[in-house]
Amino acid sequence: MLGTPFDWRIVAVKLLILSIVLLLILGFAFIVRKNKKYLKHFIGLAILLQLIYIGWRIAYTLPTHIIVGFFFGSLLLLAEIMAMFQSTTHRLMFFKDYKPLIKTIHDLDTLPSVDILIATYNEPVSILRNTVAAAVSQKYPKDKFKVYLCDDGVREEVRQLAEEYGAIWSTRPEHTHAKAGNLNHCLREYAQGELFLVLDADMISKPNFLESTVGYFSDPQMALVQAPQVFYNPDPFQNNLQLYETIPNEQDFFMREVLNHRAMFNAVLNVGTNAVFRRSAIDEIGLIPVGTITEDMATSMLLQAKGYQTTFVNETLAMGLSPNSFADYVTQRDRWCRGNIQVLKKWNPLTLPGLSFMQRLIYFDGVLYWFFGIQKLIYTIGPILFLLFGIPIYYSDVFTMLLFFAPMYLSSSTIFTLFNHKSRTYAWAHIYETALAPYLAVSAITELFFSNKIKFSVTPKDNQMNHNHFAYKIALPHLILAAITLLALSFGIYNLLTDVNYMIPVYLVNLFWLLYNFLGILAAILVCFEKQRYRTAERFTVKDELQLILANGTRIPAEVIDISTVACAVEPRISIENPDDLIGKTLQLHFIKDDFQITGTVFRSRAWGKRIIIHFNEESTQNHTQLVKYIFSSQHSGYGNFEKTNYLKTYQGLLRKNWNELIRRKK
């Protein structure tokens, strides 16, 4: 930005105009909150303001006198144009509410046969066991579905697991094309149902999964019914920032909101699991597409290009595990980023025959999203270049910039709030994207220009993190950015205090964006403090009646407080004489609602006398299946809730928790 002497009269006029425009935008937004029928007009205003801003940026703000400034200035402008495209697509998707028509199995004349394909490679059998137990427990008629364990690891213990639960063990001699090849082999050699459901190895389906999805296939053109991925353990942000249930899972925004609105345009994205397909439609596109490391996006896009319908069922029908650590999370997102770019290069949605305009727009926007790492780094580098080296990448005086930028930014951020998103804010979007930016910038650039062959990597699902540690290697890019930012901050403050007065607004604007970016970097560093995960199995809150049956036959009424697949906490409804006598003893638990019994051993709890901890003993296949069904059939949402907490209060909480942790370690 320019730092030149200015005429205060002109500045006053600009500020007056700016104030009037901002007040008008806020007034319009107030009207829209009261009456949503004006939302489309507000969206039109926001798009117009963005176009005016971008037009002004192109015509007047590129620094041409310094090569470095022109290069990074051009990149910044390109990043802003990309952001405008993405925000416009987002508005077109969300400008009206969408509630799809609900169908049930009663809409079918006859029930189709269904194959349930569970894809596995190296996941622990302890995790896989719950998935298989849930899959065989579908309330769908038993003679109408089969379960296949598609084992690309060819493990004897998986064969035994399949045999134990009555599933079919599917293996193949050649392990090509990763997950897609594994599923395709099962479809060619084993599965013959009219429909098939794909589940990841950790996705525990609820008993009503098929009942809630198969009915949509009463439409002969329906090819894909997608349910959201829902997670029952804390993701790395929830766990490492110690916010736990106060923020949603990072994927909830896409899984719960974006997918639902994509369904309005028949642009539902297959997310690789929790998806039911029509077999004949998949056969028509040559089975599940191969040649990329994310077969899911290509599958749904090719089906839609053939004219088939796809829909989204926004219910919790299966629950799985989030990545265990931030490093695993980065690995997963790296694969998704590269895979989406591979799909773009092999099946470009802008040129693929058969897609509608909105389908092309939405799919292209979905691929463009994965370049956010480059965008974030450009936004971060901008103020650093100016404050450290005096290189401007944005050629304008501050007050003119505010006149064009502020109305555009206010209208855009206001629209985001008007959509009333339940699982995302600007603040958390900034944190999530900053945390991933350095890694995905490299992923996007290398995949786009160099196409290095990347080995398909399965996201680790072992839920063990047995000690606290700082992931230094994964944090290194952010540590470097933080050091450079602090250096730029010190230079900026010094220049602010010593330079000529008319430069003060320039330094203030750059320092503001520097600090805004630094907050995201700081949160990213805190995420790299990997916190120990103490539980071998996640607990679920369940309020339900049961009976404790002692060895002498005495029945004690009790209430379940929380439960996992290995233990539960219960509160006896009556006082127990000499409760210490129960410690280490085996008793039976009769779950009244589902009418089944399992045995367990009593352990002392912190609230001993009022609450009892019971560790389940090794149970029969039938009892384990009943337990899994009992736990997951009562779950209706994933781990974490959304609270619109104050941005600064959130950071205060993060700093306080991590500072207290540091002090505790030193002691």
Residues of the chain with pLDDT under 50: 644-648, 667
pLDDT at residue 646, as a whole number: 47
pLDDT digits (tens, 9 = 90+) for 205-228: 999 999 999 999 999 999 999 999
User: What CA–CA distance (Å, rounded) separates 494 from 511?
Assistant: 11
CATH class given for the domain over 108-352? alpha beta
Torsion angle in degrees (nearest 10) through CA of 302, 304, 308, 314:
120
**In 3D, which of 64, 53, 137 has the Cα closest to residue 87?**
53
Query: Tell me, what DSSP letter sits at residue 253?
Result: I
Compute how many other C-beta atoms are within 10 angstroms of the C-beta atom of residue 583: 13
Q: Are strands 567-572 and 612-616 parallel, antiparallel or unpaired?
A: antiparallel
Any idea which residue has 């930005």 for tokens? Answer: 1
CATH 3.90.550.10 domain residues, the chain: 108-352
User: What CA–CA distance (Å, rounded) separates 134 from 21?
Assistant: 57
User: What CA–CA distance (Å, rounded) separates 223 from 204?
Assistant: 23
Name the 3-class secondary structure at 297.
helix
Task: For residue 309, count CB atoms less than 10 angstroms from its CB and return exposed for 0-12, middle for 13-18, buried for 19 or more.
Answer: buried
pLDDT at residue 174, as a whole number: 87
What phi and psi values does residue 243 have, to the nearest 5 degrees?
Answer: -95, -20
| Whether 517 contacts 380, CB under 8 Å | yes
pLDDT at residue 445, as a whole number: 94
User: What CA–CA distance (Å, rounded) separates 502 from 481?
Assistant: 29
Query: Tell me, what DSSP letter sits at residue 222?
Result: E
The amino acid present at 357, given as its one-letter code, is F
pLDDT at residue 189, as a whole number: 94
Bridge partner list, 196: 115, 277
| Whether 279 contacts 195, CB under 8 Å | yes
pLDDT at residue 266, as a whole number: 96
Q: How far apart are the first and last CA of the chain?
A: 49
pLDDT at residue 44, as a whole number: 94
User: What CA–CA distance (Å, rounded) separates 250 from 163?
Assistant: 37
pLDDT at residue 382, as a whole number: 94
Task: For residue 34, count CB atoms less than 10 angstroms from its CB and return exposed for 0-12, middle for 13-18, buried for 19 or more.
Answer: exposed
Any idea which residue has 């507000």 for tokens? Answer: 42
User: What CA–CA distance (Å, rounded) separates 344 from 235?
Assistant: 28
Any idea which residue has 């009790």 for tokens? Answer: 558
| Whether 619 contacts 586, CB under 8 Å | no
Tokens of 144: 């109408």
**Residue 595: left if φ>0, alpha if ψ -120 to 50, beta else—which one?**
left
pLDDT digits (tens, 9 = 90+) for 333-373: 999 999 999 999 999 999 999 999 999 999 999 999 999 99
Helices and strands per DSSP (H, E), number in the chain:
21, 18
CATH class given for the domain over 540-633? mainly beta
Name the 3-class secondary structure at 429.
helix
pLDDT at residue 249, as a whole number: 87
Any idea which residue has 């349930």 for tokens? Answer: 116
User: What CA–CA distance (Å, rounded) separates 610 from 576?
Assistant: 9
**In 3D, which of 311, 351, 141 has the Cα closest to residue 225?**
311
Query: How far is C-alpha 617 from the geometric centre of its chain's CA atoms?
Result: 35
pLDDT at residue 9, as a whole number: 85
pLDDT at residue 647, as a whole number: 44
CATH 2.40.10.220 domain residues, the chain: 540-633
Compute how many other C-beta atoms are within 10 angstroms of the C-beta atom of residue 251: 18
**Residue 453: left if φ>0, alpha if ψ -120 to 50, beta else—which one?**
beta
User: What CA–CA distance (Å, rounded) separates 94 from 33?
Assistant: 15
User: What CA–CA distance (Å, rounded) separates 119 from 296?
Assistant: 13
* 345: enclosing H helix or E strand: helix 326-346
> 642 vs 244, 248, 423, 446, 648, CA distance in Å?
11, 5, 6, 35, 16
